[in-house]
Amino acid sequence: MDLGIKGKVALVIASSRGLGQAMAVSLAREGVKVAVTGRNPEGLQKSVEMIEAAGSQALALNWDLSDHSVIDALITKVETELGPIDILINNTGGPPPTPAAGQDPALWTKSFNDMVLSLISITDRVLPGMRERKWGRVITSTTSGAIAPIKNLAISNTLRAALLAWSKTLATEVAADGITVNIIMPGRVSTDRLRQLDEARAKREQTSYEEVVKASLRQIPMGRYGDPTEYGDAAAFLASQNASFITGTVTRIDGGQIQAI
């Protein structure tokens, strides 16, 4: 299927590994020029190589999301080297596992700054150009914990739920300008982050990593973890011309795990 986005420009935040990298590569396979960001030079280089192997053009940006002062300069660099940004994939790493009670307010503030305010600020920077061109895609990757809170991930559950409300509100404001705004939500997709969480759970519950995985698989109707490419391809479809009438939605890529309606 031709998704109708060949030649478009995408900015994929936090894309030096994991789901961000998978989304960047899926877009590249559709002929999208992709700017990738992160703080790990080796990971960024790997993303560039994967994008180029897919037949598209890449730009790597060393980008610390906690520093909002660099947003304008880095986006200007993308616009200069690749072109105006048509597709924005908002993505961040996760905060440390924590319970809800008793957390230092400074940790809440830092996490909000890095995971929420940074993405809102980046989106605000690219929206005027999208509106002027009457075409744009804003896709924000969150977590299933935003609608079905995950034990010991209180900060992630809370702040990513805020992104759902922001995205839904924004979708109504820009729809008439040809811009769609959607959320994608992973279930248990095989990434380094998921392995770290499973290992942390095993340690916390004094069991083995293998037993944690078995317990998780029993909760997934498909009986397996997702492949990052499956997640990336879902994002590419929502970025496509084919998805031009889909906005304000939450799309779960979870193998049927989340039971909430």
Q: How far is residue 233's CA from residue 230's CA, in Å, rounded to a whole number?
A: 5
Q: How far is residue 74's CA from residue 96's CA, in Å, rounded to a whole number?
A: 27
Q: Which amino acid is at 254?
A: D
Residue 260 clears pLDDT 90, i.e. is over it: no
**Once rounded to an integer, what is the mean pLDDT over residues 227-247?**
97
Query: What pLDDT, in 10s, does the model give residues 214-225?
Result: 988 999 999 999
Tell me, what's the pLDDT at 197?
A: 81
CB count in 10 Å sphere of residue 2: 10
Judged on CB neighbours under 10 Å (0-12, 13-18, 19+), 119 is buried
Tell me, what's the pLDDT at 163?
A: 97
Q: Which residues contact 189 (CB under 8 A, 6 or more apart)?
A: 19, 225, 226, 227, 228, 230, 231, 253
Please, which pLDDT band fits residue 250 given cuts at 50, 70 and 90?
Answer: very high
Q: How far is residue 149's CA from residue 158's CA, in Å, rounded to a whole number?
A: 8
Query: What pLDDT, in 10s, does the model give residues 178-213?
Result: 999 999 999 899 888 888 888 988 988 899 999 998
Average pLDDT in the chain: 95
Percent of the chain with pLDDT over 70: 100
- Candidates 191, 144, 141; CA nearest to 163 is 141
CA distances from 181 to 46, 74, 75, 101, 205 (A): 28, 22, 19, 32, 39
Q: In what order do the strands lie in the sheet with 33-38?
A: 58-62, 33-38, 9-12, 87-90, 136-141, 179-186, 250-253
**Once rounded to an integer, what is the mean pLDDT over residues 227-255?**
97
Mutual angle of helices 41-53 and 18-29, in 10-degree steps? 20
Tell me, what's the pLDDT at 82?
A: 98
Query: What pLDDT, in 10s, does the model give residues 36-81?
Result: 999 999 999 999 999 999 999 999 999 999 999 999 999 999 999 9
Higher pLDDT, 97 or 85: 85
Please, which pLDDT band fits residue 114 given cuts at 50, 70 and 90?
Answer: very high
| Residues 77 and 9 sit within 8 Å (Cβ to Cβ) | no
Residue 21 clears pLDDT 90, i.e. is over it: yes
Residues 72, 77, 82, 88, CA torsion sign: negative
Residue 252 clears pLDDT 80, i.e. is over it: yes
Please, which pLDDT band fits residue 109 given cuts at 50, 70 and 90?
Answer: very high
Residue 261 clears pLDDT 80, i.e. is over it: no
CA distances from 24 to 90, 157, 184, 234, 248 (A): 11, 24, 14, 12, 22
Residue 1 clears pLDDT 80, i.e. is over it: no
- pTM for this predicted structure: 0.93
Query: What pLDDT, in 10s, does the model give residues 142-177?
Result: 998 999 898 899 999 999 999 999 999 999 999 999
